[in-house]
Structure 1
């Protein structure tokens, strides 16, 4: 079967590999992926990997490179193991890609995303979404209603990252919110904040193309260029008595962005770290104390969030498909996928791949 495999930095190949064979384990699900998104984690692997993909057998899954990529995807069920009852052959599903023990400290508490041995389909598992077939575990297979498309179902995974950040920020009806960064996660975070009822959403983004895209997909947002002036003052001018926003969501993963969020949030406000930092950040701890703020850090998402997001998409409350800017075939995954997303012009947010 055809598959997109990561071998090393700037070494991603479309190859013919053996498809899954043999008898399914009782909790296995055999699937045919439909569409798969290229994630920021995939981009980091392409640029500087292996980082997350395993050079040595993964401690929990046993997987090792070369790795079939793809952890943001939808699929159709082909067959199920004897113990699987919640999905059947022919069902459409969204993949919740995290793999972890069900019976360790975190698993027993339903905190599957916090397991220290967690693996991920498409990053540290034998199979991924950018292959014609894959085997996943029963808990990875999340049924979706007929009212959402395969593309929308593939977008549930990155949408979960965004919505978890909004949840941790306590965004509710009437909230004032700053989203720092309008990449794919930032754009989804703005949509999620709107779905949660935020009354004012300010999006800070230096890239003009990304400012244009977010203005089109979230016309209710106030989109600003942080280089055009003092962001904290811009935010103050848009909020009641100049106090700043209730919640600032950092979606870039850079020190400057984190510190800008701290300056822009009101006293006793909340800053949520949604973007992943690749190196330590220097912060002004005294400012955190002076403003009496709460800083929340997030890792992935609670895996139980899938049905909620599917319902939000089905009702039109969370239009995740607006973040998709291109659809490509796997044969073009490097030139029209990875390289396009790394273009400094920033003309794309989410690119979907069909294998």
Structure 2
């Protein structure tokens, strides 16, 4: 079968690999992926990996590179193991890709995303979404309602990252919000904040193409170029008595973005770290204290969030499909996928791949 596999930095290949074979374990699900999104994590692997893909056998899954990529995807169920009862052959699913023990400290508390042994389909598992077939565990296979499309179902995984940040920030009806960064997660965070009831949404984004896209998909947002305009002045102009936003969501993973969020939030407001920092950031801890703020940090998402997002999409209040800017075949995954997303002058946010 055809599969997109990561071998090393700048070495992603479309290869013919053996299909899953043998009897399924009792909790296994055999699936045929529909579409798969290229994630920022995939891009980091392509540029500088292996980072999270395993060179040595993974502590939980035991696998090593080369790795079939793809952890944002939807699929059709082909067969299920004897102990699987919540889905059946022919059902459509969205894949919740995190894999972790059910019986360690975090697993016993339902905090599966916090297990130090956690693996991920498409990053540290024998299978991934960028292949014609895959095997996942029963808890990875999340059924989806008829009211959402295969593409929307593939977008639930990145949408979960965004919605978790909005949840941690306590965004509610009438909130004022700053979203720093309008990449794929930032754009989804804007949509999630709107779904949560935010009344004023300000977006800081230096890339002109991303500013154009966010204006198209979220015309209610106030979109500002931080290089060409004073973001703090804009925040003051758009908030009551100029106090600052209730919640600032940092979706870039850069020191300057984090510090801007701290400056933009009102006293006793919340800053949520959604983007992943690749190096330590210098912060003004005294300003944090003077403003009496809360700083929240997020990692992945609670795995139980899938049905909620599916309902939001089906209800039309979380239009995740708006973030999709291209659809490509797996044969073009490097040139029209990875390289297109890494182009500084590029025009894409989320690209979906079909195998």
Give the TM-score taking structure 1 as reference length: 1.00
Name the residue aligned to 1:129: 129
Name the residue aligned to 1:83: 83
CA contact (8 A) 1:207 1:346 kept: no
Name the residue aligned to 2:186: 186
Name the residue aligned to 2:224: 224
Name the residue aligned to 1:282: 282
Name the residue aligned to 1:151: 151
1:239-298 deviations in whole A, cap 9, x for unaligned? 110000000000000000000000000000000000000111000000000100000000
SS of 1:15's equivalent in the other structure is strand
Name the residue aligned to 2:245: 245
Q: In structure 2, what is the Cα distance between the partners aligned to 1:209 and 1:195?
A: 24
Q: In structure 1, what is the Cα distance between the partners aligned to 2:232 and 2:39?
A: 30
Q: In structure 2, what is the Cα distance between the partners aligned to 1:32 and 1:112?
A: 25
Q: In structure 1, what is the Cα distance between the partners aligned to 2:144 and 2:316?
A: 15
Q: In structure 2, what is the Cα distance between the partners aligned to 1:323 and 1:230?
A: 26
Name the residue aligned to 1:309: 309
Q: In structure 1, what is the Cα distance between the partners aligned to 2:15 and 2:275?
A: 32
Q: In structure 2, what is the Cα distance between the partners aligned to 1:36 and 1:20?
A: 19
Name the residue aligned to 2:27: 27
What displacement does 1:4 show?
A: 0.1
Q: In structure 1, what is the Cα distance between the partners aligned to 2:314 and 2:233?
A: 38
Q: In structure 1, what is the Cα distance between the partners aligned to 2:319 and 2:232?
A: 29
What displacement does 1:97 show?
A: 0.1
CA contact (8 A) 1:69 1:128 kept: yes
Q: In structure 1, what is the Cα distance between the partners aligned to 2:168 and 2:74?
A: 26
Q: In structure 2, what is the Cα distance between the partners aligned to 1:131 and 1:343?
A: 25
Q: In structure 1, what is the Cα distance between the partners aligned to 2:212 and 2:262?
A: 25
Q: In structure 1, what is the Cα distance between the partners aligned to 2:315 and 2:60?
A: 37
Q: In structure 1, what is the Cα distance between the partners aligned to 2:124 and 2:28?
A: 17
SS of 1:128's equivalent in the other structure is coil
Unaligned runs of at least 5 residues, structure 2: none
Name the residue aligned to 2:344: 344
Equivalenced residues, count: 355
Q: In structure 2, what is the Cα distance between the partners aligned to 1:239 and 1:330?
A: 46
What displacement does 1:131 show?
A: 0.5
Name the residue aligned to 1:4: 4
1:88-117 deviations in whole A, cap 9, x for unaligned? 000000000000000110000000000000
The RMSD of aligned alpha carbons is 0.5
What displacement does 1:213 show?
A: 0.2
SS of 1:353's equivalent in the other structure is strand
Give the TM-score taking structure 2 as reference length: 1.00
* Range with greater deviation from structure 2 (297-306 or 344-353): 344-353
CA contact (8 A) 1:210 1:346 kept: no
SS of 1:227's equivalent in the other structure is coil
CA contact (8 A) 1:30 1:80 kept: yes
Name the residue aligned to 1:110: 110
Name the residue aligned to 1:142: 142
Q: In structure 1, what is the Cα distance between the partners aligned to 2:274 and 2:146?
A: 30
Q: In structure 1, what is the Cα distance between the partners aligned to 2:149 and 2:49?
A: 32
Q: In structure 2, what is the Cα distance between the partners aligned to 1:38 and 1:230?
A: 33
1:141-190 deviations in whole A, cap 9, x for unaligned? 00000110000000000000000000000000000000000000000000
SS of 2:187's equivalent in the other structure is helix
Unaligned runs of at least 5 residues, structure 1: none
What displacement does 1:229 show?
A: 2.9
Q: In structure 2, what is the Cα distance between the partners aligned to 1:59 and 1:327?
A: 34
What displacement does 1:227 show?
A: 1.0
Q: State how 1:204-215 maps to structure 2 within 5 Å.
A: 204-215=204-215
